Structure 1
Amino acid sequence: MIDRGNPVPSVPVKLVGVDGATDITSDAVLGTGLVVFFAVPGAFTPTCHVNHLPGFVANQVKLKAAGVDRIVCASVNDAHVMKAWAEASGALGKIDFIADGNGALAKALGLDKDYSGAGMGTRFARSALLIRDGIVDAVFVEDAPGVTTSGAPAILMALEAAQN
């Protein structure tokens, strides 16, 4: 698993935004400034859709005020699903989305998790990273169902603690 001090890997992904999907590499998306990167098992899945993503949408202004340059959400879903989810959640234009359709980024980060028991295959483990200029500053991985350590409130607290 990626750890503090490691550079973000360079893996082909699709960046989903207002104008659609663009082919790019993960280090190009995550490599500049202070980035909050959070990963979810699946777009539109109950916990991701109701608990995880909405916290980042609701706290976008606070995160930016804390010095965050970019907020990025990733999932092992295709770009069409990620765009539909961004639109449906009101996050499009506020948060950037990475479609990691084949799970290459999840594997490269060591944040891949087998959800075959739920019929979902290999996905991202629910997690978040603080990344400064392409170097991981902090890693937050959920060890139980739900959103605690990788949610927006926990990330805000970590950012505040780092400033003090």
Structure 2
Amino acid sequence: MITTGQSLPVGQLAELTADGMVNHDVQSLFAGKKAVVFAVPGAFTPTCSAAHLPGYVVLADEIKAKGVDFIACISVNDAFVMKAWGDAQNAAEIKMLADGDGQFTQALGLTMDTGAFGGVRSQRYAMVVDNGVVTLLNVEAPKAFEVSKAEVVLAAL
């Protein structure tokens, strides 16, 4: 599993924007920027939709005021689902990034197998990334939602 002080692994993340599909190279996306990244097991799932993403939507301005260039939500879903979920949640301030095949999540060492629910998905976590290096990593215990909340990350910035 990736740890604080390590650089993000090589990878690709997709984002469906108003201008079409963008395939982000992870190294380029985070180069020279400070970002808050949080990951969810699945778009449109109960905790993710009721609390996790909405917390970051509500606190986006406060988080960015701490010198954060962008906030990103990652899920092992496709970019079309991530865009639809972002739209449904009024998450215009959040980059909704798809790890469609889970390769980036696997490279982070943060996968979990949910079986029939959806197969290999991401663990729930939040991290701060500064110029591609993880400076804070909060990984949730199974079925928990405590350390990856927007309020916790904001307090740590």
TM range (shorter): over 0.9
8 Å CA contact 2:38–2:72 kept in 1: the answer is yes
Q: Secondary structure of 1:59's partner?
A: helix
Distance in 2 separating the partners of 1:19 and 1:48: 26
TM-score between the two structures when normalised by the length of structure 1: 0.91
- In the other structure, the counterpart of 1:133 is 131
CA deviations on 1:52-90 (whole Å, 9 max, x unpaired) are: 000000000100111111100000000110110011000
Instruction: Trace 1:4-23 onto structure 2 (pairs within 5 A).
Output: 4-23=4-23
Please report how far the alpha carbon of residue 18 of structure 1 lies from its aligned counterpart in structure 2 after TM superposition: 3.4
Q: Which residue of 2 aligns with 1:113?
A: 112
More moved, 144-153 vs 23-32: 23-32
Instruction: Give the corresponding residue for 2:101.
Output: 102
User: 1:13 is matched by which residue type in structure 2?
Assistant: L
Q: CA deviation at 1:151?
A: 0.9
Contact 2:15/2:83 (8 A) holds in 1: no
Work out whether residues 30 and 134 of structure 1, in 8 Å CA contact, stay in contact via their aligned partners in 2.
Answer: yes
- Tell me the SS of whatever aligns to 2:147: coil
Unpaired runs of 5+ residues, structure 2, are none
Q: How does 1:17-56 map to 2 (within 5 A)?
A: 17-56=17-56
CA RMSD of the aligned region, Å?
1.2
Contact 2:37 2:72 in 1 (8 A): yes
TM-score for both structures, normalised by structure 2: 0.95
Note the alpha carbon deviations across 1:36-60, whole angstroms, 9 max, x for none.
0100000000110111000000000
Deviation, 1:31, is 3.0
Structure 1: gaps of 5 or more residues: 160-164
State how far apart, in whole Å, the 1-side matches of 2:42 and 2:147 are.
Answer: 18
CA distance in 2, matches of 1:20, 1:52: 26
* Superimposed CA distance per residue, residues 93-145 of structure 1 (whole angstroms, 9 cap, x where no aligned partner): x11011101001100111111111x5210011000111111111011000142
